[in-house]
Amino acid sequence: MRIHTIQDKLANDTVLALAPGDDFRYAAEWSPLGDERLTFLLVGKEGARLVIASVNAEEAVAHLPDGFSIARFSDDEGPVTALKDAVKNFHGSRFLVSDDARFAHAQILADVVEGSLGLASTMMAELRMQKDEEEIRLLAESQRINDLAMQAGYEAMRPGMTELELADVVRRAFIAHGADREAFIIVAAGAHSALPHHTPTDTKLEEGPVLFDIGCYYHGYASDMTRVAYLGTPSQKFRQVHQLVEQAVQSAHRTARPGVPAEEVDRAARRVIDQGGYGPQFVHRVGHGIGLSVHEPPSVMEGNTLPLPVNAAFSIEPGIYLPGEFGVRLEEVVVNRPGGAQILSQVPRDIFVKSLK
């Protein structure tokens, strides 16, 4: 169980306090509903103990593996007594709280423990960055579903359809092919494609580019991919920009391998775009880690000297954005295998061209 891996990494004086969310899910391979009721999974060398409201406890019993003990509290009792009883099981003087914790809940913990509070983010990031083979399998399946949803979007797009309608096609394809749910859906038509994180609107598709940036969850693991399509005949300028972004993807992909600093992958892509004359129009980092969260460490950007670990999963997504005209971004999720970065998607990065008829 992953909980044992976490315990092996913990110092004798340290206890993790994980609130519902992705760190909790990583540790327990399940996460409860995060609501206004305090919930903490406490993990130390001594064991693991869940503090949870009685209304949510039975579901926890059904999902948690053996070895977890549970401290329950009712709504009228409140969490303080149960939390105090749970904390007595640990000898640590340093409690590290996950990023998902509500401030009010962290404050209750601070009032209960005798010792210091800190953030669990650094430790959990180090653990979660290096995927095991089951995680890689789930990432690959999530991406397979994402590929099918992208193809569904390609096939459905037509003049007069709105961005929102096309986004709904993608959403329904996710569910039809076995996704838990969507992670996000960006459909950006025309000049909207120059907005890196555009929210789909009722803008109607017409002759011009359509950028898709989509992702879903499968058994808790995320996918992410960006492609560009075109209704009608792409202009020469659009083709040139697309080709430059494609070359940037290839350069970053060749550079990525275990031990290479994350910033070198960013530089490899950025160098191509700088040399092509569009450096100022590449306005974001080249990539981010992915796993239980769509965005998680490592950040693939200038200034991050972290050597990329083996089996880290991250995106490579250079882009060029020309406000008022169009934008082109191409994105792959890769797994950093010993022999180099393995691309998970099977969808070509070519411009998908569709007739206006």
pLDDT of residue 115: 87
Four-residue CA torsion sign, 194, 142, 222, 310: negative
pLDDT at 118: 96
Domain ranges of the chain: 2-128, 133-354
The CA distance from 2 to 29, in Å, is 8
Query: Residue 262 and residue 349: Cα distance in Å, rounded?
Result: 23
pTM: 0.95
Q: At what angle do helices 163-176 and 133-156 cross, to 10 degrees?
A: 140
Domain 2-128 has CATH 3.40.350.10: yes
Q: CA-CA distance, 263 to 201, in Å (whole number)?
A: 35
Q: What is the per-residue pLDDT for 67?
A: 73
The predicted structure's pLDDT at residue 273: 99
The pLDDT of residue 65? 78
Residues 246, 244: Cα–Cα separation, whole Å: 5
- Give the separation between CA 211 and CA 91, rounded to whole angstroms: 53
Divide the 357 residues of the chain into consecutive groups of 10 and give the mean pLDDT of each group: 90 96 95 94 95 95 85 97 95 94 97 94 96 98 99 98 99 99 98 99 98 98 99 98 99 98 99 98 99 98 98 99 99 98 99 94
The answer to whether the bond into 298 is cis (omega within 30° of 0) is yes
What whole-number distance in Å separates Cα of residue 256 and Cα of residue 335? Answer: 10
CATH 3.90.230.10 assigned to domain 133-354? The reply is yes
Any idea what DSSP says for residue 130?
B
H-type alpha helices, the chain: 2-9, 22-28, 54-63, 80-87, 103-112, 121-129, 133-156, 163-176, 236-255, 262-275
